[in-house]
Structure 1
Amino acid sequence: MTQRAKTEVEEPEPGRHSDCGAVEAAHRGLSAAEVAERVARGEVNDVPVRSSRSTAEIVRSNVFTRFNAIIGVLFVIILIVGPIQDGLFGFVIVANTGIGIIQELRAKKTLDSLAVVGEARPTVRRDGVAAEIATSEVVLGDVIELGPGDKVIVDGEVLESDSLEIDESLLTGEADPVVKKPGEPMMSGSFVVAGGGAFTATKVGREAYAAQLAEEASRFTLVHSELRTGISKILKYVTWMMVPTAIGLILSHLFTLNMAGPEAVRRMVGGIVPMIPEGLVLLTSVAFAIGVVRLGRKQCLVQELPAIEGLARVDVVCLDKTGTLTEGGMDVSELRPLGDSDPVYIQQVLGALGESDPRPNPSLQAIIDSYPAVGGWRCTESLPFSSARKYSGAALNGPDGESATWLLGAPDVLLPAGDPALAEIDELNAQGLRVLLLARSAKELDDPEVGRDVRATALVVLEQRLRPDAADTLRYFAEQGVQAKVISGDNAVSVGAVAGQLGLPGADAPVDARRLPADQEEMAKVLEQGAVFGRVTPQQKRDMVAALQSRGHNVAMTGDGVNDVLALKDADIGVSMGSGSEATRAVAQIVLLNNSFATLPSVVAEGRRVIGNITRVATLFLTKTVYSVLLAILVACWQIPYPYLPRHLTLLSTLTIGIPAFFLALAPNRERARPHFVKRVMRYAIPSGLIAGIAAFVTYLLARSYYTGPDALAAETSAATLTLFLTSMWVLAIIARPYSWWRIGLVLSMGLAFLVVLVTPWLQSFFELKLVGTTMPWTAVGIAVAAAALLEAVWRFVGRKFPA
């Protein structure tokens, strides 16, 4: 809704019909005392509409997880059997959970502050004064004014109607707008497509028809994401493997190896804990949350969190010309009278038409600015502009008492094919100018055929303001392999000329949507070949999105007008401008509060960063899962003790996965988003985990045959830990590519940290790590080198054989 200052309710002019926008004096709204009384009774529209989860939900979702429960139980067991250094994994989980909560709270703060900026502010009439208020301040019985693009926020009953047309398709599925008259019901969740009026609120808060639906639809969510769905699938499989593995390990250590209870428990926990990719879910949430914060700084409101990922996956973006490629305002560049029309008289008619519409669109506003109303003209009836019919009109009485019906709209809709004026209009359209026809109709305004057989009077030539950043944004999408389709209700030639000025490929062959085939398959073929489409109706925009989706495309739709709502709702990702109508902001997943189309590349970049980086770090986490399962199976088959204590694997996980993954997950990444997340991760994680697990187990077997005596198990574990660390470090080195100074520094610092543990006496004792002699340590290094060479070969083979 555009910002409107407080206005006094005016008495209707003598003889002026209320359809021309005058406010009925009887509907002055509630008094201040009545409002206070209703607030005291709790009759307030108190539905908590928010863009993010509550603090309690964030804490609960981060703390009460399946794996936190499992790890918590294992941590308690270790605290009972000791020592504390085998319970370090518990403190790591606490730290991870804390980081996740802090980052999501940061994202919540950003989202909530942006949501306040972008929220709908209905115009409510109280004590005869119309003013904008917050949605939550509306009370039962309030008189709420409506105009094109406004969303009906509560249930009510129509009081005033100025050709008020309501779209209820989001609630009823009925595509045709409904003309509302005084006394008829209004349903919350619908929106105005044409005309204006006012209604009184009969149900507010949770009693309103669409309140619960609106609350759920506007919440910050972490679902419907390929990343999160894939991770959930992986975690489900891991859970299935953990229970039998734990049972097998504890039974083999207690009864086959006759190990003491506490030691058997420590070895079992050592085998189970590394199977859990506990940090993977955390890092996914953190990466998304930080993306929200980064975009928030650029005045981009992400109403549904996976939209960051979703926009990065789109391969077709449908752009509405007005408000997206061009700025909202226009200027009248020329007025061309047709025939023997009097220019002065035409200007007076245009001024009267502008005055007849209380909520002018940008085209009419440009006319109002150029041709202000003069005295002596009266409007008896008005017909607001509609995207479906492409014109507006009014019945006017002139100073001389003459009454006439005037229409203002699309020349190629109002004029028959072959009309001589169309050739002149085509020349103007080819220059990227927008042309409106002022025509006189012999029919009454309420006649369905009022737009036929009109007499052309003048052409109003409008100059559109191109967004200075639109060309660069279109170029970015082209470079990234994303097709841009300009879909507009304006004349196809004019739209093509504008798109051509911005360098859009295919703009020289615009398509008139009135000639598009109705069949979805045939329409999809035309859409894939073309780039610019004009004279598109709101329903056609919706059909075009569906046609592209039927061919397997991920479609994003941008728009700011009420005619874009249906298409925005059906697109994979809907993007609205902050200055757009309430309805478009309500259904879009992303709202550009700064109204800058140039912000979209930033959203795509954030999505690619999240997808690419989470795919990288997921490979690290799942490599650990694979080698942990393999080692558990091998020790059970060989009937030998599990080689590692929990402290060893906590150290390895922290240095080769935990710390590096955190930095890698938040690093810049411009890789193109690719589908099949689980498949792409597992094709590397499985062979990497198998190689690392086999290398560590081979070292462990050789060490068991080499070392003897009471301290042999500690020496064997130390040698096996060295091999596993070096092999895992090579996996990290591969994942960190392509190298930069900080990535190289990250890998080297992790290696240095492990070296510090090996040479520092108290750390040796704490982690129970001490390399004995030189033969086995160097053997362990040699096996790790061979494993690294095999890893390199396998990664190159997989990359060639199974390209992403």
Structure 2
Amino acid sequence: MQFDFLKPALLAFLHKGLSIRQFRQLAILDFLRGAAVGKEMPRQQAERVRALSLLTADAVLDRLGSHEQGLTEQEADNQRERFGPNEVVQEQPLSWQAHLWLCYRNPFNVLLTLLAVISYLTEDATATLVIGAMVVISTLLRFVQEKRSNGAADRLKEMVSNTATVLRRESDATVPADTQRRFDMPPRPHDARKTEIAIKQLVPGDIVVLSAGDMIPADLRVLAAKDLFVSQAALTGESLPVEKFATQHDPSVTHPLALENLCFMGANVVSGTATAVIVATGNHTYFGALAERVTAQDRTPTQFQAGVNKVSWVLIRFMLVMAPLVLLINGFTKGDWLEAALFALSIAVGLTPEMLPMIVTSTLAKGAVVLSRKQVIVKRLDAIQNFGAMDILCTDKTGTLTQDRIVLERHTDAFGTVEDGVLEMAYLNSYHQTGLKNLLDVAVLEHVELNKTLDIAGNYRKVDEIPFDFARRRMSVVVSEHDEHHLLICKGALEEVLAVCTHVRHGASVQPLSAGLLAQIRTITAGLNQEGLRVVAVATRELPPVRHSYGVGDEAELVLVGYIAFLDPPKETTAPALRALHAHGVEVKVLTGDNELVTLKVCKEVGLPVKGLLLGSDTEAMDDARLAAAAETTTVFAKLSPVQKERLVRVLRDRGHVVGFLGDGINDAPALRAADIGISVDSAVDIAKEAADIILLEKSLMVLEAGVIEGRRTFANMLKYIKMTASSNFGNVFSVLVASAFLPFLPMLPMHLLVQNLLYDISQIAIPFDHVDPESLTRPQRWNPDELGRFMVFFGPISSIFDIATYGLMFFVFHANSAAHQTLFQSGWFIEGLLSQTLVVHMIRTRKLPFIQSRAAWPLLAMGLTIASIGIFLPMGPLAHYFKLQALPWSYFPWLAAILLAYMALTQGMKGFYARRYGWQ
């Protein structure tokens, strides 16, 4: 079968730095756009899904062996044993054999293997052994480190795993045979219990309870729904949510995604509530069937990985030019083409940063573990670099700048007089709503005064509910008292509630809502806002008890009865955290759906300077270019919709900023996906946690500031290795070219180069544990491959100067100037080359004076000292003849010390010149 439908997604996968989740979504979307009906999944599966949509709810449950009160624990265990976990195959970890092969399979190891084969064919057993050891050590180091890293990452991700609400029966005996199935009513206590379980534990037949903010955890058949709107953008690309029902109205529909009573894994609930039964899990879902056809298993390169890959390929291309050049020079000047070929291949290996994947992985893993100790869980290791590169943080107000502990401060009528009747109406609304309960509802229900003085919930029966959505910004419940009348109670944002009010209650009378009263109401509520209180309006409407189903259209001709006002005090840690973020080059912008007066009051209290204010309505009047320019100089954005938040994040990114977004609600999910780094909290709704790259176990900007610093530290250590390796390798090539052109013998044997390269690479393993200078953490750090090329040109040739000085020392002072004395020459350069490479680690790791002003961490110091000792021991000890080396006269070492000190002095001087001209990253 041809996979042309995957080409656009694969291009994005390779070049745009999308996440693996976005890659799969693009692949599916492109497939759906180009495929005929039924080809997206096996036809048998498509027909089964359609058949389930046409059955009654009872028939669906019978076919799945389920019950209206859900499965028992034993039934769920049996189903799980039969169908396996609810996971898609691409998300499962590789087997150890596949992982080991992946660790081996890179251009660097292939070159080493080729060189080992050539050495074996030429009966050079020592070279074969050394090269083979390089391959084995490099592969095993990466395998072990990645295994540990992946295990640590998995354990961290398990701490924030998403869950679903399911019904569980205690036993079969609790289900009466004549029980009428009513999915639109909550389960009776003796019938079933609601429980939260991990999404991967779900099985076919589980009854799932859905509300706004939930992910669709598997393929579901809807049994009952109330104003259920589902976003299928991840599957179809449709920007608008679609409504789902308990029945399929048009039986002629055949496309699975068009079926009205089916929801598919990968979608999420925008508003409303529903009860549904799982019909398929894991690879048997619609999403899983498509994912199985995408054979690519590699993770998508992030911006940093793309930069690392770019550097690797620059070095490989450099190698492909220089290795043949070395071959030709040595072949023509020495006459031994086989030896010249082996030497050229050794040079090629020396130029390849074969430890780079392992260094990057171990550094990221260490960063993730350190962050976990600071209450920051990294879902995707590569996100750490974006954390350090972030220069703008967009955050909501509630729970971030404030304590996330909202208290009900005041309840008044429309004219500001304390009124218990308003509190009663708000209580009934919050008590009976089954959708997404926010902090305002919790504050109402937990109000101490209300719990002591009111006992009205038992007098009312819930009739229906009109769930909240972010377009209306209000929600309503309909209750009945002794079935005498129906009372619609609406609660929501002031302007949105006023839009559907025609009257206002004043004492015992009801007055028409005139323009004068509207102005008076807005003055009263503005005063509450200026006190830092968030105002929620409450309105009612009496209806005859003739219906049992109500909709948005019934939110009309309401009577405004008053307000409930909430206080969310600022956190004590917010002000110092904002100062710390500012000091580290991160600008904080507040993006909130709340009132601008409340937001400005909070910003003033926490000491956040407000350079400008824009409302959601203001942003709608601007095109992207104007909005981007305005966003640069604006601090507070208030009364925003989810789409407006997403757009602001996107235009800031288009201006070249690395943007982080901190949010925890369903309205934050689009912005979380649009940001360079999405940040959420463990208490967030499922769709927000799924969209985020970083999860905070504590919703605090202080925690976030610690994460930013650790991200920069991690990035800085990775950059050290890349700079060291690139500049050192670049200098070695010049040294080899000079030596090859003028010496009557090879400056080093292939085996010497390989051993030197192996020892140097081992010394770099400790880099992830190194310290980072404080000044390197004060500003965002971005990947800049072009800067690396300049760095190579400035610092690489310095080592060549002292390599050439070593040539002169061995050639003229110690008279190693003929083939008969080449072993002495090679031993001298072997030690100098290895020690200078090891020393450059400490020179380049800091802008300061090494060992004095900035000292490396003890693991890096210990590793460097160990490798230097081994490098000296090999020629000077009893193993010298095995490596075709020989002991050097003791008079060599004072010369060596002088060369190394001069090398340090010149490198330090170049650092000062380079930093003054180009800066020091």
TM over 0.5: yes
Out of 833, 845, 851, the residue aligned to residue 736 of structure 1 is: 845
- Using the TM superposition, give the Cα deviation of residue 443 of structure 1 relative to its aligned residue in structure 2, in angstroms: 9.2
Compared CA separation, residues 89 and 432, structure 1 to 2 (3 A): farther
1:94 aligns with 2:136: yes
Matched, 1:151 2:268: no
**Cα distance in 2, alignment partners of residues 340 and 764 from structure 1:** 93
In structure 2, do the counterparts of structure 1 residues 736 and 26 end up closer, same or farther at CA, with 3 Å as the change threshold?
closer
1:382 aligns with 2:473: no
Offset from partner CA, 1:363-416 (integer Å, 9 cap, x none): 112212234643332333321222332211123334693444321111233337
Partner of 1:198: 275
Matches within 5 A, 1:169-318: 169-183=233-247, 184-211=261-288, 223-243=300-320, 245-247=322-324, 249=326, 253=330, 256-259=333-336, 267-318=343-394
String of CA shifts for 1:616-657, please: whole Å, max 9, x gaps.
2212211232133223433444474320124544565466x4
- Which residue, 796, 820, 844 being the options, matches 1:689? 796
| 8 Å Cα contact 2:376-2:703 kept in structure 1 | yes
Q: Decide which moves more: 91-100 or 495-504.
A: 91-100
Are the structure 2 counterparts of residues 441 and 60 from structure 1 closer, same or farther at C-alpha, using a change threshold of 3 Å? farther
8 A contact 1:352–1:378 mirrored in 2? no
For residue 696 of structure 2, what is the aligned residue in structure 1? 592
Equivalent-residue separation in structure 2 for 1:302 and 1:574 (angstroms): 11
Q: For the Cα contact (< 8 Å) 2:592–2:638, is it kept in 1?
A: yes
The CA deviation string for residues 557-601 of structure 1, in whole angstroms up to 9 with x for no partner, is: 111111111111111111111111111111111122444553322
Question: Offset at 1:763?
Answer: 5.6
1:564 equivalent in alignment to 2:668: yes
* Bigger Cα displacement from structure 2, 43-52 vs 408-417: 43-52
Q: Give the Cα–Cα distance (whole angstroms) in 2 for the partners of residues 603 and 180 of structure 1.
A: 41
Contact 1:148 1:194 survives alignment (8 Å): yes
Moved more, 289-298 or 777-786: 777-786
State which of 416, 420, 438 in structure 1 corresponds to 2:538: 438
Give the drift of 1:74: 2.1
**Of the candidates 75, 86, 96, which is equivalent to residue 116 of structure 2?**
75
Residue correspondence of structure 1 range 719-758 to structure 2 within 5 A:
719-721=828-830, 723-725=832-834, 727-728=836-837, 731-737=840-846, 738=848, 739-742=853-856, 749=865, 753=869, 756-757=872-873
Letter in 2 for 1:658: D
User: Partner letter of residue 123 of structure 1?
Assistant: T
Q: How does 1:602-751 map to 2 (within 5 A)?
A: 602-638=706-742, 640-646=744-750, 648-649=752-753, 652-653=756-757, 657-658=760-761, 660-669=763-772, 670=774, 671=776, 672-700=779-807, 703-704=810-811, 706-707=815-816, 711-721=820-830, 723-725=832-834, 727-728=836-837, 731-737=840-846, 738=848, 739-742=853-856, 749=865
Number of the residue aligned with 2:429: 353
Change (3 A) 1:257 1:350: closer
CA distance in 2, matches of 1:340, 1:675: 53
1:319 maps to 395
| 1:500-511 paired onto structure 2 within 5 Å | 500-506=604-610, 510-511=613-614
How far apart in 2 are the matches of 1:740 and 1:795?
14
Q: Secondary structure of 1:379's match?
A: strand
Change (3 A) 1:605 1:97: farther
Q: Match of 1:363?
A: 440
Deviates more, 1:188-197 or 1:322-331: 322-331
| Contact kept in structure 1, 2:590 and 2:635, CA below 8 Å | yes
- Distance in structure 2 (CA, Å) of the matches to 1:393 and 1:759: 85
Q: For the residues of structure 1 that align with 2:74 and 2:906, how far apart are their CA atoms? A: 81
Aligned equivalent of 2:630 = 526
Determine helix, strand or coil for the equivalent of 1:156.
Answer: strand
Residue from 850, 864, 887 that aligns with 1:770: 887
How far does residue 220 in structure 1 lie from its aligned partner after superposition? 11
Whole-angstrom CA distance in 1 between matches of 2:94 and 2:599: 41
> For the Cα contact (< 8 Å) 1:409–1:438, is it kept in 2?
yes
Amino acid at match of 1:350: A
Tell me what 2:37 maps to.
none
Code of the residue aligned with 2:210 in structure 1: it is L
Note the aligned Cα RMSD (angstroms).
3.7
What is the CA–CA distance in structure 2 between the aligned matches of 1:497 and 1:430, rounded to whole Å?
A: 7
Matched, 1:422 2:522: yes
Contact 1:220–1:304 (8 Å) recurs in 2? no
- Mapped partners of 1:633, 1:485: distance in 2: 54
After the TM superposition, which residues 530-549 of structure 1 pair with which residues of structure 2 at under 5 Å, given as runs?
Answer: 530-549=634-653
Matched, 1:64 2:180: no
1:746-798 CA-to-partner distances (Å, cap 9, x unmatched) read: 69836962785389442655551433585x77666666655555434433333
Q: Decide whether aligned partners of structure 1 residues 663 and 264 sit closer, same or farther in structure 2, where only a CA change above 3 A counts.
A: same
Distance 1:420 1:57, change over 3 A: farther
Please list every run of 5 or more consecutive structure 2 residues that lacks an aligned counterpart in the other structure. 1-65, 170-190, 248-260, 500-514
Distance of aligned partners of 1:89 and 1:467 in 2 relative to their CA distance in 1, 3 Å threshold: farther
The one of 160, 163, 168 equivalent to 2:227 is 163
Q: Secondary structure at the match of 2:355?
A: helix
Aligned to 2:154: 112
One-letter identity of the residue aligned with 2:196: E
Whole-angstrom CA distance in 2 between matches of 1:33 and 1:611 = 49
- Residues 1:409 and 2:484 aligned together: no
The verdict on how the C-alpha distance between 1:61 and 1:473 changes in structure 2, with shifts beyond 3 A counting, is farther
Q: State the Cα deviation string for residues 70-117 of structure 1 (Å, max 9, x = none).
A: 113323444564363785454345334333222222222222223333
Mark the CA change 1:266 to 1:762 in structure 2 (over 3 Å): closer, same or farther: farther
> Which letter does structure 1 place at the counterpart of 2:636?
V
Q: 1:769 to 1:794 in 2, by over 3 A?
A: farther
Q: Which amino acid is the alignment partner of residue 439 of structure 1? A: A
Q: How far is the alpha carbon of 1:452 from its aligned partner?
A: 6.5
Indicate how the Cα distance of structure 1 residues 88 and 483 shifts in structure 2: closer, same or farther if over 3 A, else same: same
Give TM-score scaled by structure 2 length.
0.76
Letter paired with 1:797? F
Q: Render the CA deviation track for 1:481-540: whole Å, top value 9, x for unaligned.
A: 111111111212112222332222218x65432333342222223322222222111111
In the TM superposition, what is the alpha-carbon distance from 1:675 to its structure 2 partner? 3.1
Q: Return closer, same or farther for 1:557/1:742 CA change in 2, 3 Å cut-off.
A: closer
Cα distance, 1:666–1:260 mapped onto 2, change above 3 Å = same
TM-score (norm 1): 0.86
Query: What SS does the aligned partner of 2:457 have?
Result: coil
Q: Does the 8 A contact of 1:189 with 1:214 survive in 2? A: no
CA distance in 1: counterparts of 2:876 and 2:616, whole angstroms: 75
1:423, CA displacement in angstroms? 2.0
Report the Cα distance in structure 2 between the residues aligned to 1:576 and 1:141, rounded to whole angstroms.
31
Change (3 A) 1:294 1:747: closer
Question: Residue 716 of structure 1: CA displacement?
Answer: 2.4
